[in-house]
Homo-oligomer: A and B are copies of this chain.
C-alpha cells in the first residue's frame, strides 16, 4: 500500500485563540427536524439568553419555509420564522449575538418572505442547496446579499457528490457575493481524513475570493465533534453546533463540547451546562429522540440519507442486521 507523505496546513494549535472562529447554535433549526419545530417559547427564550451568556456568535432560529408548499398548521412556527415571531423572543436583539435563518433552494418564497435587512432583526441568511440546484442558490444569495444580509451557502450531502460537481459548485460560489461556504456532511458519512482534504479544497477557494469556510457535521459515526475540530484546525472558521447535539437522526456536534474545546476567552461553559441540565432534559422527557445509534452508524458508514434509520427506530425495531442487509441490497 502507499505510504503517503502529506503536508497539512494546520491553523493555530490546541492552546491558541483564533478570533476568526465563530460558533453558530443551530439547535432550533436542526433540532426542529426532531420535534417538528415544537419548541416552547420558554425553551427558545432561554436558549437565546444562554447563547448570549456563553459568548456564542450566531443563533439560528429555523427555516424560512414556503407557506405555499408547507401548511403552517402542520409545523411549529420556527419552520417559517416570521419576523414577528423572532421579535417576540429577541425584541430588537440588543446583544452581540447575531441571528440567522436557513432557506432551502426551491422551498422558500424568498422574494416574498425575506424582508429588507433594515426591517429585520435577522443578520444572516443561510442558503441550503444540493450541487444540482446551484443556479437557484446563486439567485438567492444575490437576492439576500442585495437585501443587506450576511449570507452563507450550505452545500449539502457532499459525501454523495462527485468531486467534479463539488469543484464546479465551488467555482460558481467563488464568483458570488456569499460570505461563508459551508462544508456539510448531511449523511454523517465523512471520516476525518476526508474532512481535512475537503476543508483544504474549500479554504483554497475561500481564501482566493475573500470568503470564510464553515462546517456542519452529523454524528452518525460519532465523528461530528472530531470532524468539526479537524475542519477548524485546518482552516474552517464557522462551526455549527447544537445543545447536546440535538438534530435530525444522529444529531450534530455538541455545543458543550465546542465551548469546552475552544480557547476563546469570551466563551463560557456554565450557561450552556445549565441549559442542558434543565431544557435539554425536558425536551428528551417530552419524547424528542436524537443521537448516535446503530442504525445511524449503518446509514452513515454506507453513505446514505438517514431516512431508513429514522423510520427503523420510529418502528421500535432492533433487528440491525436486517436493516444492514436492506441497505446493502439497495446499493447493489
Contacts and interface: CB of A to CB of B under 8 A. Distances in A.
Contacts of A233: 193
Contacts of A318: 277, 281
What number of copies of this chain does the assembly contain? 2
Contacts of A16: 1-2
Nearest to A298: B260
A211 to B, nearest CB: 18
Contacts of A315: none
A3 to B, nearest CB: 6
B14 A229 contact: no
A6 B7 contact: yes
Interface in A249-265: 254, 256-257, 260-261
Nearest to A253: B222
Interface stretch (A46-54, A109-117, A132-140, A268-276): A268-276
A257 B221 contact: yes
A12 interface: yes
Interface string A179-206: 0000000000001111000000000000
Most buried by B among A18, A230, A270, A294: A294
Interface string A223-265: 1111101100100000000001000000000101100110000
A9 interface: yes
A319 interface: yes
Interface in A2-27: 2-14, 16-18
Given A5-B7, A13-B2, A192-B192, A270 B222 contact: no
B257 A222 contact: yes
Contacts of A1: 11-13, 16-18
Contact of A260 (B4, B192, B297): B297
Interface of A: 1-14, 16-18, 191-194, 219, 221-227, 229-230, 233, 244, 254, 256-257, 260-261, 269-270, 273-274, 276-277, 281, 294, 297-298, 301, 318-321, 324
12 contacts: A3-B11, A10-B193, A14-B191, A14-B194, A191-B229, A192-B229, A221-B225, A222-B222, A256-B294, A277-B318, A277-B319, A281-B318
